[in-house]
Amino acid sequence: MQISLMKKIFKLTTFILVTPSLFTFVFPHSVKANNQFDVCLQELTSSGVEVKQAQTGCADALVPRELSTCVRNISTNTDIKAIDALKSCYQVRRPLDMGNCVVNINRNSILIPASSAKIEKKETEAMAESPINQFATEDGKNNSTAKVSPVIMALNTCQASLLPARHSECVIALSRTPEVKDPIQAMETCLSAEDFPRDLFPSYQQ
């Protein structure tokens, strides 16, 4: 009886000791897959971001995996280049919501052919020259006030919004009303409405 019990204890001890090394052998890439910096770098570079810029973005990101997911989502589902998406995803607290905001507005409100919705070369080059952590133009004004294509306007307003998911829903809804001329008007209205709606409550105006 004691011999049988000792054999069972020996087998259990052997299994416990061998199992970790066995899993390490079977899943050699598990550690790398769980390293969100590795995932961030891989996703950014595969999206078209240069290695040095990807390294800077991933190293500085609060949640690297969310940063790269935001960039991949925008660059895959819109005409926005990955490096331009990186500059915006890098600066927000909710990169996943921000990425979904841009994609949803582009899909549901920007009703123009993809061929005519591409970013102008001059505008793209100007954006590419600015560093990752800079969004203002040389004169200090926000890029959202410049004349931009609807998809870039979506990128700018989703970045500026404190609640990107709410912003995209607002833009999509307003774009469906006949009074709104274009998606840019809807984006401007929804973004400005995130401040206190003084037009509805004139008694609060100073």
Instruction: Give the pLDDT confidence of 136-155 residue by residue, as tens digits.
Output: 334 444 444 447 899 999 99
| 3-class DSSP assignment, residue 4 | helix
Q: pLDDT class for 179, splitting at 50, 70, 90?
A: confident
Residue 10 lies in a domain: no
Cβ 110 vs Cβ 117: under 8 Å: yes
Looking at residue 205, its pLDDT comes to 47
* pLDDT of 31 above 70: no
Residue 120 lies in a domain: yes
Domain range holding 58? 29-197
Q: pLDDT class for 195, splitting at 50, 70, 90?
A: low
Entry pTM: 0.65
> 27-45 burial, b if ≥16 CB within 10 A, otherwise e?
eeeeeeeeebebbbbebbb
Residue 80 lies in a domain: yes
Residue 168 lies in a domain: yes
> 121-130 burial, b if ≥16 CB within 10 A, otherwise e?
eebbeebeee
Neighbour count for residue 72 (Cβ, 10 Å): 20
The total of structural domains in the chain comes to 1
Residue 4 lies in a domain: no
Q: What is the number of residues in the chain?
A: 206
Concatenating the DSSP letter of every residue in 37-99 gives: HHHHHHHHHHHT--HHHHHHHHHH-SSHHHHHHHHHHHHHHSS--HHHHHHHHTT-S-HHHHH
